[in-house]
Amino acid sequence: MPDDMEEIIADFVAEAEETLDRIDPKLVEMDDKGFDQEIINDIFRGMHTIKGAAGFLGFQQIVDVSHRAETILKRIRDKEIIIARPLIDVILKSFDMVRLLLKHIKTKGNEGQAGADMAVLLKELEATLAAAQPSGAAAPAQAAGQKDQKEVKARPAVIEGPSPAPSPAPRAAEDAGPHEDCHPQKSAAVVQGAAAQADKKDDSIQTLRINVEKVDQVMNLTGEVVLIRNRLLNLAGGLEQKYSSDPQVENLFEAVSFLDLLTSDMQAAVMRMRMQPLKKVFGKFPRLVKELSSSLGKEVELRISGEQTEVDKSVIEHIADPMVHIIRNALDHAIEPSAERLARGKPAKGVISINASQKGNQIVIEVSDDGKGIDVEKVKSKAVQKGLVTEAEAAALGHDAAVNLIFMPGLSTNDVATEISGRGVGMDVVKNNVGKLNGFIEVITKQGAGTTFRISLPLTLAIIHALLVEEKGSVYAIPLNLVDETMKLSGSEIRDLMDKKVLNIRGKVYPYFELAWLLEGPSGQSMQMRQDGAHHILSLGDQSRGDMSPDRPGGPGLSANGQEGREDRYIIVVAVADTRFCIGVGRLLGLQEVVIKSITGSGSAAPSILGATISGDGRVILIIDLGYIARNLFDKEHANT
């Protein structure tokens, strides 16, 4: 296949997928609202565009499916038939089939053969249209005379014989409407310009489709420029202090300062290129809620706000699965049947709300329901039954800690597993996926009133602001978004409470840990980064995973020789979701914008290390994964006392 044709097909697949993502939720919206001329026109145009472009490229199976779905949409648009749930369902099935065929084209270069599934769907489309209820305007026409009856009978013939590609049959063109031309030469233009059609309301907007790998390459190069800028700022600052009276040094410092501003602007521009609205994820949920609530026999309304909030594309790619698990659990576990809700004094229809907003350099996504809330005692009982905690541990757990048990692998409050939930894997997946994004999740629940899952994620995973600290001669970077405050305290202020180290800060007691202890492995050897020629090697001794149990020998807050450190310590108060704890370090070195680089080829895994970066003076600095540390420290206890 010629390269230019491959490019045209790739553009077709991308634009067809975007079109389906855009019109899929509109179809669900129409099912809720009833007939809406603007919505039905938008859906019809989208399906017609896909059919025309597929016909030009010779993808006959897509033409067959989309043509039949388009015919149903046209009959609805012309008010010849009444919108009904069977019609909506079969059109959604058509969308699914087109998506499957597009996936085949993307991976194999052709549609493949849908076989029996395609034949069943085509027959279902025909049967559903034949059984559709005529509208009030169409019904009298059917009984008025033989001419109208013939016209009504003639329409299913369009369904039985779809137009071949690339030359549509005359009846198909007529069915599409006089203003909707399906000619193949015009379809070529459609392939190239479908994205522009989506923005037709604002002609000033111009778009250019670029392979995401090229954007990632620019992002990586920008990261390298940021590292060099940091290096130049460090060198220029040193020269200015040493040769402050030299005009050349002054000019150099001015040039480097200007480069700093330009680099920041360039970095912001490149990051904006990678930003995508959360609507790409949220748009899939109306259909999910509609279908699952129907299968469960529940009435549920989905409310979405903040879908235009933009996040890095890497976040978009990984946040969909956790949200699907949360929504499925809300439908199955939380929202009660209508009769039960009415008995409790609630509206018959349950509500699931999704809201997204930006707070500082964090994106906060909340998924709330007005269901029955989490039964904490039942969660404890199930955890004991599954052997995840002992009865004594369960009895000692506070409300928040008990709620967090739902994230433990294998735990489910359902007695019987269903297709929707009950196998104890969903919420575990949520926690792990959010953790991989360097985010955290909170659960706010009240029995009988509902539950809110609050997910906090960084705007981008590539470049972050970090607090540089020094401990025992090594420099580490701590993500600034998880730092609540810093202070300097005397070592004598570190107290013992039930064999654990704690700090009393303004009347609140926080667990206290030494950074060196948190980074130690079973061998007691701290992680450090050393340079060996041109390679950066992570030295971990023989450790593969540090034991972070507060009861481990040596314990938090102790020096390497096991004696209490009473010297002054710099304290970092860490806030991960609703968990607060303190980390003691030797020195605070200041703030810096750092580029996260993955560590490969070290031969050993370090779960508590997020990655590495290069400082302004050329040193390799490890970036600490506070989210991982917090999860391992407080899986079974609540830190905020």
Q: Of 488, 518, 509, which Cα lies nearest the Cα of 586? A: 488
- The model's pLDDT over 304-335, given as tens digits with 9 standing for 90+, comes to 999 888 888 878 878 888 888 899 888 888 89
Residue 564 has pLDDT above 70, yes or no: no
Who wins on pLDDT, 354 or 13? Answer: 354
Residue 568 has pLDDT above 90, yes or no: no
- The model's pLDDT over 112-170, given as tens digits with 9 standing for 90+, comes to 666 667 888 888 888 888 887 787 654 444 444 434 443 433 333 333 333 333 333 33
Q: What's the rounded mean pLDDT across residues 5-27?
A: 84
Burial of 187 (0-12, 13-18, 19+ CB in 10 A): buried
Q: What's the rounded mean pLDDT across residues 282-298?
A: 87
- Count Cβ neighbours within 10 Å for each residue of 442-464 and write b for 16 or more, e otherwise: bbbbeeeebbebbbbbbbbbbbb
96-100, 355-359, 363-367, 423-427: range with lowest mean pLDDT: 423-427
**3-198 CATH:** 1.20.120.160
Q: What's the rounded mean pLDDT across residues 12-21?
A: 86
Confidence at residue 149, expressed as pLDDT on a 0 to 100 scale: 40
Q: Of 303, 276, 279, 278, which Cα lies nearest the Cα of 289? A: 303
Q: 67 with 172: CB under 8 angstroms?
A: yes
Confidence at residue 3, expressed as pLDDT on a 0 to 100 scale: 62
d(CA 130, CA 121): 14
66-70, 409-413, 609-613: range with lowest mean pLDDT: 409-413
> Side chain identity at 309, as an amino acid letter?
T
CATH pick for 463-633 out of 3.90.1640.30, 1.10.10.10, 3.30.390.50, 2.40.50.180: 2.40.50.180
Q: 7 with 188: CB under 8 angstroms?
A: no
d(CA 431, CA 408): 9
1-10, 310-319, 373-382: range with lowest mean pLDDT: 1-10
Class of domain 278-458: alpha beta
What is 442-504 written as a DSSP string? EEEEETTTEEEEEEEEES-SSEEEEEEEEETTEEEEEEGGGEEEEEEE-GGG-EEETTEEEEE
Banded pLDDT at 583 (limits 50, 70, 90): very high
Banded pLDDT at 421 (limits 50, 70, 90): low
> Side chain identity at 326, as an amino acid letter?
I
189-198, 370-379, 431-440: range with lowest mean pLDDT: 189-198
Residue 479 has pLDDT above 70, yes or no: yes
Q: What's the rounded mean pLDDT across residues 474-495?
A: 85
d(CA 168, CA 185): 12
- The model's pLDDT over 68-94, given as tens digits with 9 standing for 90+, comes to 888 888 888 888 888 888 888 888 888
d(CA 394, CA 398): 9
Confidence at residue 180, expressed as pLDDT on a 0 to 100 scale: 40
- Count Cβ neighbours within 10 Å for each residue of 2-24 and write b for 16 or more, e otherwise: eeeeeebbebbbebbbebbbbbb
Residue 599 has pLDDT above 90, yes or no: no
Q: Where are the domains of the chain?
A: 3-198, 213-274, 278-458, 463-633
If residue 13 lies in a helix (H) or strand (E), which one and from where to where? helix 3-33
Q: Of 32, 21, 96, which Cα lies nearest the Cα of 290? A: 32
What is 232-292 written as a DSSP string? HHHHHHHHHHHSTT-HHHHHHHHHHHHHHHHHHHHHHHHHHHHEEETHHHHTTHHHHHHHH
Confidence at residue 558, expressed as pLDDT on a 0 to 100 scale: 43
**CATH 1.10.3470 matches 213-274:** no
- The model's pLDDT over 508-561, given as tens digits with 9 standing for 90+, comes to 888 999 888 888 743 344 444 433 333 333 333 333 333 444 444 434 444 433
d(CA 457, CA 450): 23
Confidence at residue 368, expressed as pLDDT on a 0 to 100 scale: 93
282-286, 360-364, 632-636: range with lowest mean pLDDT: 632-636
Q: Of 433, 383, 391, which Cα lies nearest the Cα of 408? A: 383
Q: Of 33, 27, 29, which Cα lies nearest the Cα of 47? A: 27
